[in-house]
Chains A and B, each alone.
Chain A
């Protein structure tokens, strides 16, 4: 299902996913476009996290899982034999549900992705750290304490640190897996603002169980239920005039 014309940045075709014998995704077709925010909503257990974790092949690290169907990044199959999963994950960054800073200094957290790719030049690292922290709207708050342990930051700051850490390796796509579910409303607002800024330079996909959040930040919304894509359309249409009865019932809060 594609809402926009032109080649999608990410496109899934008949994506199926299994945890052992249980099927978590059923023939899911979604396209995500550059400079657009695509939100995935749906009740708990609908497969939205499974879906987003397929896009950077993070599901592979879970034992006993199996995937069928195709995922294209710039029209190229991400499971093709010439694709290096390590390079794929650099291009498709991810921010997790719970802020997961490493127990290192703020600086070392941001520099982590560059260092594992062999960058040692201190000046360059400093530049990227500053740029990434600015990009994640965290620089002003931490610029005087880059050597402090990242655990000393508040939950909302930690999540922005994780965003900065993802930005540092210059990804093309950023996946957000319920990024605000573990932080307070004020910090949530900051992250939502940030997502709107990131949209200008990246392809953003966000999983959320907060419908208002999807309505606020996204251009397109996909509604999933029980592993199936129920409806995928322009966000405004989904929230004002959904085509499917289930979508309407969900967004009006009749179940969820």
Chain B
């Protein structure tokens, strides 16, 4: 771990904080195995943001539509949302590695990709 505790420091409070940070980081790392990761793609102004996203296998990606117009998120043969009205969202969990190109089937100029590693 990079978080080597410097025992030379006699500041007990500082040491305590460092230990707490280390513990938090360990918890987070442990959580990566115990719980699937989650991340979002925002739909704003007829654009997927980020348009390209790299995630680990097992990650759940949630698309949220913040436009005043519905969108449908489609990756041919892989996943397809229902029509997402304003503030609706759609989630898909990626269980296999690969490049998942997707688009909005209502506004096909809207495209994006999820790289799953």
The judgment on whether A and B are partners is no
- Which A residues contact B (CB, under 8 angstroms)? none
